[in-house]
Structure 1
């Protein structure tokens, strides 16, 4: 999937504005930098792109100029080598329209997202200063999906998530708080049973010596 053009038709502070990235070059890099002053609308454009893909959020904060019923974004996406024009409106159903203004299934876009949800897509491809800072802290604290993602990427560990899940499952099988069927819980139960059996058959040294003396006397008398 490639974004060819983003249309900010009625979204945030924008009205009938477009960002055109042009056709994909036949060779060489395809990197575009969108820059501007603070409050110029960079975050608005990023949010608009996500809303184009996944739908305008129910409580969108970009309705301060255009009411919910008037909000509209559009764009041209290159999907599997072909250009497709879409428009997104703010409504619960049939919000995705094709080039002729007819409603189309969400599958027209989601089929090219590899099953990613909005949150997953945002985490992987829509990082900003706040999420990067939070992700860095998450790495240091070994927590959070973004921390795991960034650590995986920086370390070149493509299957780190699967490995971590397997290790967590193995750890859970060994021990879980207040669980009775884990391996450690079963071993502790066996240990208690063994100690009980040992205590039942255990004999004091003095008692053993007395019994041994009696045995020797009996052997001498009846030998």
Structure 2
């Protein structure tokens, strides 16, 4: 078969490439500079004939599902084949066969019969090889299946020519070099090169000097190896010391905690249920104290807004907003009447809690809690409270 037209779409860095090839006899050469896409075009040709690899490396710019390879070919009978290869797991090839009798569909199995016994690996090794494959020489033939080639089943009876060419190449290579030979040209050249190196060494260094340099080199290598081992040992010791230092710090902290827990002032006669109740009361007290602080802050903010000077005429225009504000101030004033009672209740609960704790553990009253409550009571008691039933004046 001969190619008449090749189209590569979204393969490698090619978005759309059309190549028209002459259909007559002869060899067609496609050439270009490095990185022009010659290897990519060769891999596209492999994908068209045998299918695109599932993990093709040529989908780096376009999605692999968008790859499309098309070609127009002419077989030995003069029939024209139009084929299209897509990146699919099944039925990836579709096409048609045009002849004088008409047009018939062309699928993958029918298209594969054109290749006979030539597999994809054999095609890549014999027909579609790269420059790197060409440099490997006869090894490519061995990988492709030398026995099959020599049998003539793959190349149509050209085994004798291949065998003769291989024999000639083997004879020529043995005439140039043998692994244990002396007469071939390369062996003679290697022998002369070795003799020249020995002569050069003898000319540059006397034997005692060479021996001294060799000894010094061996000693230097020995010292370097010893230093490397010592460095590894020191690094291992450093890592161990760092680990021990971290453990020592944790152990030191542990000893400090043990000494702190051994303080007689921390001992208590409380059992676990009583201690749990004390923690719950303390949490309730903290929550109530936070709520009281929030109410005091809101009350102070609203009182400050209520004590502002009379609104100007521009403010009177916002009567509805002022009315809503007055209702909020009234609600806060009502809450302000409730605050003293809440403080008294909180003081009573605090005293009861201190009594319970004093009973459970004599000499360990909640001094911090009582001091905080006294300071808040004294600070809030200084603020004047409006008489009962009074309300801020409306504008």
Where 2:15 maps in the other structure, the secondary structure is strand
Quote the Cα distance in structure 1 between the aligned partners of 2:12 and 2:96.
23
- The answer as to whether partners of 1:94 and 1:104 remain within 8 angstroms in 2 is no
Deviations 1:97-139 (A, max 9, x none): 2269xx8421232111012111011111112221111224x39
Summarize the alignment of residues 90-129 of structure 1 with structure 2, pairs less than 5 Å apart: 90-98=87-95, 104-129=106-131
Contact (CA 8 Å) 1:12, 1:44: kept in 2 or not?
yes
1:21, distance to aligned residue in structure 2 (A): 0.6
Alignment partners' CA distance in 1, 2:69 and 2:35: 19
* Superposed structure 1 runs of 4+ greater than 4 Å apart: 146-149
User: Any residues of structure 2 matched to 1:39-118 within 5 Å, and which?
Assistant: 39-79=35-75, 80-98=77-95, 104-118=106-120
- In the alignment, what sits opposite 2:4? 4
- When Rg is computed on C-alpha atoms for both structures, the one with the higher figure is 2
- Residues 14 and 159 (structure 1 numbering): CA distance in 2 closer, same or farther, change over 3 Å? closer
Q: Which residue of 2 is the match for residue 35 of structure 1? A: 31
Query: Between Structure 1 and Structure 2, which shows a larger proportion of helix residues?
Result: 2
How has the CA–CA distance of structure 1 residues 81 and 61 changed in structure 2, closer, same or farther, with 3 Å as cutoff? same
Q: Give the alignment's TM-score, normalised by structure 2.
A: 0.34
User: 1: CA distance between counterparts of 2:55 and 2:48?
Assistant: 15
8 Å CA contact 1:12–1:63 kept in 2: the answer is: yes
Assess if the C-alpha contact under 8 Å between 2:11 and 2:44 holds in 1.
Answer: yes
Deviation at 1:159, TM superposition (A): 7.7
TM-superposed deviation, 1:157: 2.5
1:7 Cα deviation after fit: 0.5
Report the TM-score when normalising by structure 1: 0.58
- Give the secondary-structure state (helix, strand or coil) at the position aligned to 2:6: strand
Which residue is 1:131 aligned to?
133
Aligned-partner Cα distance in 2 for 1:105–1:14: 26
Correspondence for 2:14: 14
SS in 2 for 1:10: strand
For residue 144 of structure 1, what is the aligned residue in structure 2? 142
Residues paired across the two proteins, number: 150
Residue 72 to residue 144, structure 1, CA distance change in 2 (3 Å)? same
- Which consecutive residues of structure 1, in runs of 5 or more, have no partner in the other structure? 161-223
Greater relative contact order structure (CA < 8 Å, 6+ sep): 1
Q: Is the Cα–Cα contact under 8 Å of residues 96 and 106 in structure 2 kept in the other structure?
A: no
Say what the alpha-carbon RMSD is for the aligned residues: 3.2
Match of 2:160 in 1: 157
- Residue aligning to 2:381: none
Range with bigger deviation, 39-48 or 127-136:
127-136
Alignment of 1:187-206 (within 5 A): none
- Three-state SS of the structure 1 residue aligned to 2:115 is coil
- Contact kept in structure 2, 1:135 and 1:144, CA below 8 Å: no
